[in-house]
Chain A
């Protein structure tokens, strides 16, 4: 068993048994379901809008080389600098070098999952830079020393009392149980940090090839401040974020907000096309964009699952996933949690270590239904299971599949097996069945039918 699997099984079991925490998560998501449905109802045809969103991403991802080239040419024409990183280490080195070249001291970040993926904060802190997460949820998680719980709602599992204690401990503020007051504490604390920072690091939600702009989606305004006040703006993005036309955003931006957070549109959707222009009074002097592969091209090479690169990280699939709601986001042990994380992590970090996530699904398909860009999430979990069984079959896989194959091809053997099974069922019911483990804890074996299905099919009246 891989280490990550052992940890996963342990954490999942602990969290699933924590009824309080599960109720808390369900309650936190309650408002989301209501708002999402209200907003979806405003679409004149949500399903066809999903068609358009998935086609916009499909068309860009399947022509990635040309679309990316067009984007980069336009981005550079606007005065930005593009850096290419094959993997996480290269991306970290690029950003460290930008910081060193500019004698930076303080760095402020707005929410960026790609930076979690490359463990950027650790690297920057080790190199001696002060790094502050400015998104409220990320700020709380940074103080807690914990990874985000959900890639859109990073601290949705933390109760207000715990946040109040955390702020008292780290910021010396008086305890309070009001979410509003807690938000204001963070606001006041972070204000001066934006003003003092030399570098602002953001992510990017879309790269628009037609205009060379990057699009950033957020609610709090912290990304706006991060890209406005420091003298250097560094954006970090996966190469798959590109879309062809500016107009594609007219579909993708509202759907991202509605699917993920039940909003008509997130509060700030901002397009940046370069550093401060001549005649503009503020904005950074330098604008760097780090484009990261980090195994995305591996996923691209699999035509069956290539559509997982269409993901716009809205978080809808997490919000509806029964597994996510029961085991919580931290148990996954991945940068990207929930169904999409279970699909892509084995590609990004190795099928052998991470295949167990393919089983972290009830295959109910709620994720696939929720996905605004129509990624076939639950089937991809099955594809990963199949691929894992092909790549490195376990003993159970081999014995079971060969055995099944042998029996199913011989009708007489199948019939004989059925007869034996029906005859011994009453006996099996009395035996403890340790080998069925968790499955049998809450279930009884069914009563044996008198006749087999095949027999009934042949003689329905007998």
Chain B
């Protein structure tokens, strides 16, 4: 008996001998990559940096994610320290990134560089995870984290709160730009995980009523520098 792989490919080739018509479209199809051409039809991500930032702020508010804008890195550290004090965080895990070490150092509570000595049980006991990100999508209010920019896979999802520190220049207008940027940056060496985070974890599974903090973070903060 032929192996499953060749069998399935044989079935596919046989099935595709008869061509299917193109779907009925509303407009004329555009040559080349259709998805790139779709940009002007999708939700607006802003033509200028300023416009994008305004859209981002609006989207994040709707998603119940907190946006904290600060002028420089020193104020970012101060803002995170204030947040930790206000929320009474006892333990914060952070990604060992040059941008984040000074922020962690300023925390009024225990801070642990999670990616230096990863332990899932210990991470589970942390109140918050502190990471950087790859980019931020204004159009959707989505923050792209990766196993490279966020200290692995668990740090941005397991603790109760997630704090992202990023520069305003990391804001891109739309999803397509964020994907293109990731491709340009990593080529065929993509981090093993890339994740778009659009607001705090949520569920509507009980009577379709929105509840935040299903399995992932209940609170999401974006500290934007500049």
A residues touching B (Cβ–Cβ < 8 Å)?
28-29, 31-32, 42-56, 58-59, 62-65, 68-69, 74, 77-78, 84-86, 90, 134-137, 140, 153-156, 158-160, 163, 179-180, 182-184, 187, 190-192, 195, 211, 213, 219-222, 224-225, 227-229, 239, 245-251, 253-254, 261, 263-277, 280-283, 287, 291, 293, 297-298, 300-301, 303-304, 306-307, 310, 374, 376
Interchain CA distance A29-B3 in the complex, whole Å: 46
9 contacts between A and B (CB under 8 A): A31-B208, A43-B41, A65-B12, A195-B124, A228-B152, A267-B216, A268-B198, A273-B191, A280-B153
Cβ-defined contact, A225 with B215, below 8 A: yes
> Closest approach, in angstroms, between the C-beta of B58 and any C-beta of chain A?
10
| Inter-chain contact A48/B26, CB cutoff 8 Å | yes
Q: Are B5 and A84 in contact (CB under 8 A)?
A: yes
Cα of A273 to Cα of B203 in the assembled complex, Å: 26
Pick the contact of B192 from A239, A275, A374 — CB < 8 Å? Answer: A275
Q: B35 touching A50 by the CB < 8 A rule?
A: no
Chain A residues with CB below 8 A from B198, complex form = 263-269
User: Cα distance A192–B14 when bound, in Å?
Assistant: 48
Considering the complex, give the chain A residue whose CB is closest to the CB of B22.
A58
B194 touches A280 (CB 8 A): no
**CB pair B38 A65 closer than 8 Å:** no
Q: A211-B183, A281-B152, A301-B11 are in contact. List 20 more A-B contacts (CB 8 A).
A: A51-B29, A55-B22, A59-B34, A84-B5, A136-B205, A183-B205, A187-B213, A211-B190, A228-B154, A247-B179, A264-B43, A265-B140, A267-B197, A267-B199, A269-B195, A274-B192, A277-B192, A280-B148, A283-B152, A307-B23
Stretch of B71-79, B84-92, B97-105, B115-123 that contacts chain A: B115-123
Smallest Cβ distance from B6 to chain A, in angstroms? 9
A409, B25: Cα distance in complex, Å:
37
Name the A residues within 8 Å of B33 (CB-CB): 245, 247
Closest A residue, CB atoms, query B200: A267
Residues of A close to B158: CB separation below 8 A: 225, 228-229
A273-B215 in contact (CB<8A): no
On whether the beta carbons of B142 and A265 are closer than 8 Å, the reply is: yes
B residues neighboring A (CB under 8 Å): 3-5, 7-9, 11-16, 18-27, 29, 33-44, 59, 62-63, 114-116, 118, 120-121, 124, 139-142, 147-148, 151-155, 157-158, 174-176, 179-180, 183, 188, 190-209, 211, 213-217
6 nearest A-B residue pairs (beta carbon): A221-B216, A220-B214, A52-B38, A250-B176, A228-B153, A301-B15
For the complex, what is the distance from the CA of A301 to the CA of B206, rounded to whole Å?
A: 40
**Of B7, B27, B213, which is within 8 A of A48 by CB?**
B27
- With A48-B38, A267-B197 as contacts: A183 and B22 at CB distance below 8 Å: no
**Contact between chains at A269 and B196 (CB < 8 Å):** yes
Point out the residues of chain A lying under 8 angstroms from B192, CB to CB: 78, 272-277, 280, 283, 287
For residue A280, which residues in chain B have a CB less than 8 angstroms away from its CB? 147-148, 152-153, 191-192
A49 touches B19 (CB 8 A): no
Q: Which of B26, B140, B174, B206 has the most CB of A within 10 A?
A: B206
Q: Specify the chain B residue showing the minimal Cβ separation from A183.
A: B211
Q: B44 — which chain A residues lie within 8 A by C-beta?
A: 42, 44
Are A42 and B205 in contact, with the CB atoms below 8 A?
no
Bound: A54/B7 CA distance, A: 28
Decide: B211 and A254 in contact? CB cutoff 8 A. no
Select B16's contact among A65, A85, A158, A272, beta carbons within 8 Å: A65
Say yes or no: B152 contacts A51, CB within 8 Å. Answer: no
Residues of A with C-beta under 8 A to B206: 136, 155, 158, 160, 163, 179, 182-183
Return chain B residues, CB-CB under 8 Å to A137: 203, 205
B154, A229: Cβ atoms closer than 8 Å: yes
Q: How far is the CA of A44 from the CA of B25 in the complex (A)?
A: 17
Residues of chain B with a CB closer than 8 A to A29's CB: 208
Which of B18, B34, B153, B190 is in CB contact (< 8 Å) with A283?
Answer: B153
Closest to B5 in A: A84
Least Cβ distance of A138 to chain B in Å? 9
Task: Using A43-B43, A54-B25, A272-B193 as known contacts, say yes or no to A64 and B16 having CB atoms under 8 A apart.
Answer: yes
Contact present for A65 and B9 (CB under 8 Å) = yes
Q: Which chain B residues lie closer than 8 Å to A62 at the CB level?
A: 16, 19-20
Shortest Cβ distance from B134 into chain A, in angstroms?
11
What A residues does B153 contact at CB under 8 A?
A: 224, 227-228, 280, 282-283
Asked whether A51 and B26 contact (CB < 8 A) given A62-B16, A221-B157, the answer is: yes
Residues from chain B with a CB closer than 8 A to the CB of A190 are 215
Q: Chain B residues near A78 (CB, 8 Å)?
A: 190, 192
A265 to B: closest C-beta gap in Å: 4
Pick from A90, A183, A281: contact of B118, CB under 8 Å:
A281
Q: How far is it, in angstroms, between the C-alpha of A320 and the C-alpha of B49 when the chains are bound?
A: 38
Chain A, residue nearest B118 (CB): A281
CB distance from B81 to the nearest CB of A (A): 25
